[in-house]
Amino acid sequence: MRERGWRLGPHVYAPVAPLALQPPPGDCTWALVRRDGAGPRTLLQLWEPCPPGPVLDRLREEFLQCVPRSETLDAGSCHLGFDRGKAWFLQELGGTPLLRLWAQADTSSREQLAARIEVDAAASRVPRLLLPEVIGIEPGRVLAPRILGTPEHAPEGGAALMARRRRRGPGTRSGSGTSSWNSPTPPGCPCAAGPGNSPT
């Protein structure tokens, strides 16, 4: 994990805490970050160096399905971008962090939380990163970030993957050397930014 963080487009994302992940094969890594050191808790999925064109196109197609195929597990806004050296996928994390609830819960409550997370994640159509550091809880709702990309970009070890794949969608590009896509925010969409983000 970089001590000074990463410059991704116009912002610097500062590291918050390491994630309990074994380094996966290839060039994809994960980190828990905050934008400019003060924004909401955010999961960074980083490809460095930037993937080749066909892989980047597939990542973009998957990203563009985040809103039309959103699920209740999706939390805050999400963003995909790239420049000459790297590509990144950012997801704001919502709800009360699972680690905070876990520390306060008795054995019965912990069993109920674990069972609910397992059921909701198993029902997801997309792969999810199921680490305590990134899972959030709201009343009646579990929040868990997506994993973007093919299985070779998936983490080993501490993460459980629910890998039902999907792909489709058009794309756009911006100039100035950095390209990015932001998730649209239609009313009521679980992928839209909202007040549910809760800092640690």
d(CA 43, CA 27): 16
Average pLDDT over residues 147-172: 44
User: Which pLDDT value is given to residue 106?
Assistant: 95
The yes-or-no verdict on residue 153 having pLDDT over 80 is no
Instruction: Tell me the backbone φ, ψ of residue 60, rounded to 5 degrees.
Output: -65, -40
Q: Which of 173, 149, 178 is nearest to 163 (CA)?
A: 149
Q: Mind listing the pLDDT tens digit for each residue in 81-101? A: 999 899 999 999 999 999 999
Q: What percent of the chain has pLDDT over 70?
A: 70
The yes-or-no verdict on residue 171 having pLDDT over 50 is no
| Cα-based torsion angle of the residue sequence 163, 55, 30, 25 in order, rounded to the nearest 10 degrees | 80
Look up residue 193 and give its amino acid.
Answer: A
User: Can you give the pTM of this predicted structure?
Assistant: 0.75
The H-or-E segment that residue 122 falls in is helix 107-122
User: Which pLDDT value is given to residue 150?
Assistant: 62
The yes-or-no verdict on residue 194 having pLDDT over 50 is no
